[in-house]
Amino acid sequence: MGILNSRPQWQVSSIPDLTGRVAIVTGGNSGLGFVTARELARKGAHVYMLCRQESRALAAIEKIKSELGPDTKTKIEFIKFDLQNLKSATKAAQAFMDRETRLDILVNNAGIMATPYELSPDGIEVQACNGTGHFALTIPLLPLLKQTAALPDSHVRIVNITSIGYQFARLGSPDFSSLEGLNQKSGSTWVRYGFSKLSNILFTNELQTRLIESGTTNIYCLSVHPGGVDTELSRGPIQYWPIFSLLWALLKYIVVTPEQGALTQLYAATAPEVEEKDLKAALLFPVAQLKRKKAIAEDKERKLGIQFWNLCEALVREKA
């Protein structure tokens, strides 16, 4: 592990001016996504909040505008996006492209954690949608991301939020070669969560490699573990495992606020140092620290990454 920033710690005040740039944040109506959308907008970016529930998104947008004050020219818009519906993901991408001619920052932030086994309307294990839903959103946006990267003074970033929980995947046998493998029930809900967070890193790795192979070398793809954060992500285990609520009551004394937790993904999305240090396909831990990936996530032979990519392509063709 190498520390990218010496103390003092990187802060939102370090975000450069983002006037003229366009950003997407999924799951932006609360928690880390809310803070990320707010701080990008504060620095002048035109932010699109992609969420499942319009009412909650619009309320969050109004809250951000209120917090930033009437003197700011805050630009935040809502687009419907359901992480567990592949057609919704591709429609969200098209809706965005119908409105915009550039995309500078894509933060794939939405997700669920440690929920009981259940299949989405597309027949995909719901936690696995943490990976498949963002794949379905990101791939249609690639031409626009590349187009933006070709412009002068461009700084294009794709940030995928993962978790240290990806290491739970090592307690099972991740198999992304088929829908049956993706939907496997082996292990606990935490192992399935680990599979989904592993897929976020594998997607980052594979996407970065394919961009470079296609000749696009100035788009930076990063995976970010935000740390232990007090957000609505805990709803899953608290709702279905009451004992977790007792544990969470204790953890609340050591977890950080969303404002603190969002720092690393804001760093990944905006800091010039990402390009200066050539942090392509990097895994970052709080705050803005480069973390060595475990072998399962490094995936040097690209076996799991290619499996996941090919499966997602097939699922999108069939379902979306």
**Residues carrying an active site annotation:** 193, 197
Q: Can you give 281-292 as a three-state secondary structure string?
A: CEEEECCCEECC
Q: Which long-range contacts (CB under 8 A, 24 or more apart) does 59-67 make?
A: 59/29, 60/28, 60/29, 60/30, 60/34, 63/34, 64/34, 64/37, 64/38, 67/38
Q: The tokens 């192979």 sit on which residue?
A: 213
Selection from 283, 292, 306, 107 nearest residue 201 by Cα: 283
Specify the amino acid at residue 191: V
SS3 label, residue 94: helix
Task: Enumerate residues 6+ apart whose C-beta is below 8 A from 152.
Answer: none
State the burial class of residue 248 (Cβ atoms within 10 Å of its Cβ: 0-12, 13-18, 19+): middle
Token pair for residue 293? Answer: 């990936």
Cα-based angle 30, 199, 262 (whole degrees, multiple of 5): 30
- Rounded to an integer, what distance in angstroms lies between the CA atom of residue 155 and that of residue 259? 23
- Rounded to an integer, what distance in angstroms lies between the CA atom of residue 133 and that of residue 128? 8
The length of the chain in residues reads: 320
